[in-house]
């Protein structure tokens, strides 16, 4: 064989050998993936919350089973074969869904996630495309359930809508090209135990609970770039709404502090009287309607000279009783205005003066467990001396008060 021919033959042989050997080295042992079967799919079933309804411990299982059967029925007319159901008890993530599809060698990951909280049953349906790595269809909803009463047509319609959108996306009929997010939202805050709900208080998907100041919410394939509304809730705190203007993103979202629902409060204040003498003031409030209507009992003490003490500087004590109301629209407002009315007794040098307290007004700035307050009390009227029953309002005047409230 000619020398040049031998040289070119050697190059050809070496190139062929390398093209056969190198791909195996690049993949490594055990990394070769089976081809995806475009006609096969798996059902991935996940239960986000496992809480039994009182008196009916099997309801969650019944509802979740129905949701899965509704989805299987909706796929009955399509070529999804060799399918099986895989229970995922630790929650579903985008990465886990993709890995399960690769492991099973199927193109379609058909997902049903359910949750039962009190009497609210929620579900989330989605179809993951393992070949193109995005969600082709998704739908979610919640319904209130009662023992023995359940609106199954709502789940049926949700499953049918999911399958129709999936089929339309394959044939480019009605597919808007919008993709779904592939991760949960990261939150941070100072109040552990706050639950993040996506939706409203009546219809929501559970996002998770803030612990140690951080939370990565449960994964749902929400539409990318669309506003997402939700609620923050915690026992004995007022709920608060929030909005993610761009939906789920990679940024960390700070959560605002929730205001406590107040039933009792104790306040300590420093009063400024007309003659600049200081007065210590202590009050207790019982909130008949939390953060709206309250009864108040108050005690104050000061040294001063009044006609009640017959012109001698003496210690005065005042006992006030009244009712007040907050006038701001929302009960969980940070800045609040209030007003009230009542009556009081003032004692000094053995004499007692009965006073009407026609109007007192104030403003407060609230934190979750305490507040600062400023109050202004109008001049007392209709005062009577116990010994002479004569009007005696001189020597008393309006005054202001600065203080703090501790709430629980």
The tens digit of pLDDT for each residue in 61-91 reads 677 788 888 888 888 877 676 677 888 766 6
**In a domain? residue 148:** yes
Instruction: Tell whether 118 is covered by a domain.
Output: yes
Cα separation of 285 and 227, whole Å?
41
Q: How confident is the model at residue 2 (pLDDT cuts 50, 70, 90)?
A: low
Whether 228 and 248 have beta carbons less than 8 Å apart is answered as yes
Q: Give the dihedral of Cα atoms 161, 162, 167, 170; nearest 10 deg.
A: 130
Task: Note whether 393 and 354 are same-domain residues.
Answer: yes
Domain end marker among 219, 254, 289:
254
Kind of pairing, strands 106-117 and 37-50?
parallel
Strand 264-272 to 252-254 pairing: unpaired
Neighbours of 174 (CB within 10 A): 10
Decide which of 254, 274, 293 is a domain's last residue.
Answer: 254
Q: What's the sign of the alpha-carbon dihedral 140, 142, 146, 150?
A: negative
176 in a domain, yes or no? Answer: no
9, part of any domain: no
Same domain, 165 and 190: no
| 12 domain-assigned | no
Count the domains in the chain: 3
The answer to whether residue 239 sits within a structural domain is yes
Residues 246 and 311 placed together within one structural domain of the fold = no
Query: pLDDT tens, 257-270?
Result: 999 999 999 999 98
Range of the domain at 270: 264-407
Please say whether the beta carbons of 372 and 364 come within 8 A.
yes
Residues 164 and 77 in one domain: yes
Q: Select the highest-mean-pLDDT range: 200-214, 243-257, 267-281.
A: 243-257
Q: Which residue has the higher pLDDT, 379 or 401?
A: 401
Mark which of 143, 170, 197 sits at the end of a domain: 170
pLDDT tens by residue, 156-203: 888 888 888 888 877 755 455 567 788 889 999 999 999 999 988 877
- The larger pLDDT score, comparing residue 306 to residue 408, is at 408
Structure tokens that stand for 42 in this block:
């798996």
> Which pLDDT score, from 0 to 100, does residue 187 have?
97
Question: Is the domain of 41 the same as that of 166?
Answer: yes
75-133 pLDDT tens trace: 887 767 667 788 876 667 788 888 888 888 888 888 888 877 777 788 888 888 888 88
Together in a domain, 293 and 199: no
* Same domain, residue pair 324 and 223: no
- Is 268 in the same domain as 403? yes
Does residue 394 sit within a domain? yes
Q: Looking at the whole model, is its pTM more than 0.85?
A: no
């Amino acid at each position: 064989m000619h020398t040049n021919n031998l040289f070119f033959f050697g190059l050809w042989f070496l190139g062929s050998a390398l093209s056969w050997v190198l791909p195996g080295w690049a993949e490594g042992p055990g990394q070769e993936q089976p081809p995806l079967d475009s006609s096969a799919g798996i059902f991935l079933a996940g239960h986000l919350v496992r809480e039994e309804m009182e008196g009916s411990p099997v309801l969650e299982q019944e509802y979740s089973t129905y949701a899965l059967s509704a989805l299987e029925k909706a796929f009955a007319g399509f070529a999804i074969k060799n399918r099986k159901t895989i229970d995922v008890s630790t929650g579903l993530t985008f990465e886990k869904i993709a890995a399960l599809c690769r492991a099973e060698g199927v193109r379609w990951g058909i997902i049903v996630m359910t949750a039962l909280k009190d009497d609210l049953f929620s579900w989330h349906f989605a179809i993951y495309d393992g070949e193109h790595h995005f969600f082709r269809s998704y739908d979610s909803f919640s319904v209130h359930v009662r023992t023995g009463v359940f609106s199954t047509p709502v789940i049926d319609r949700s499953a049918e809508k999911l399958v129709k959108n999936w089929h339309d996306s394959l044939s480019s009929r009605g597919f808007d090209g919008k993709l779904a997010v592939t991760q949960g939202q990261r939150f941070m805050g100072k109040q552990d135990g706050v639950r993040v709900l996506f939706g409203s208080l009546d219809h929501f998907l559970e996002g998770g609970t803030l612990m140690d100041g951080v939370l990565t919410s449960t994964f749902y394939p929400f539409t990318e770039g669309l506003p997402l509304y939700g609620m923050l809730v915690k026992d004995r705190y007022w709920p608060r709404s929030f909005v993610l203007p761009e939906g789920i993103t990679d940024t960390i979202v700070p959560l605002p502090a929730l205001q406590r629902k107040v039933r009792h409060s104790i306040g300590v204040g420093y009063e400024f009287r007309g003659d600049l003498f200081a007065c210590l003031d202590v009050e207790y409030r019982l909130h008949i309607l939390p953060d709206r209507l309250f009864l108040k009992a108050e005690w104050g003490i000061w040294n001063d000279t009044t006609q009640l003490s017959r012109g001698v500087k003496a210690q005065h004590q005042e006992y006030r009783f009244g009712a007040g109301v907050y006038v701001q629209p929302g009960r969980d407002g940070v800045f609040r205005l209030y007003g009230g009315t009542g009556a009081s007794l003032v004692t000094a040098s053995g004499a007692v003066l009965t006073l009407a307290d026609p109007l007192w007004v104030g403003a407060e700035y609230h934190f979750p467990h305490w507040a600062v307050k400023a109050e202004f009390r109008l001049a007392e009227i209709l005062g009577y001396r116990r010994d002479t029953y004569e009007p005696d309002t001189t020597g008393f005047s309006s005054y202001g008060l600065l203080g703090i409230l501790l709430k629980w």
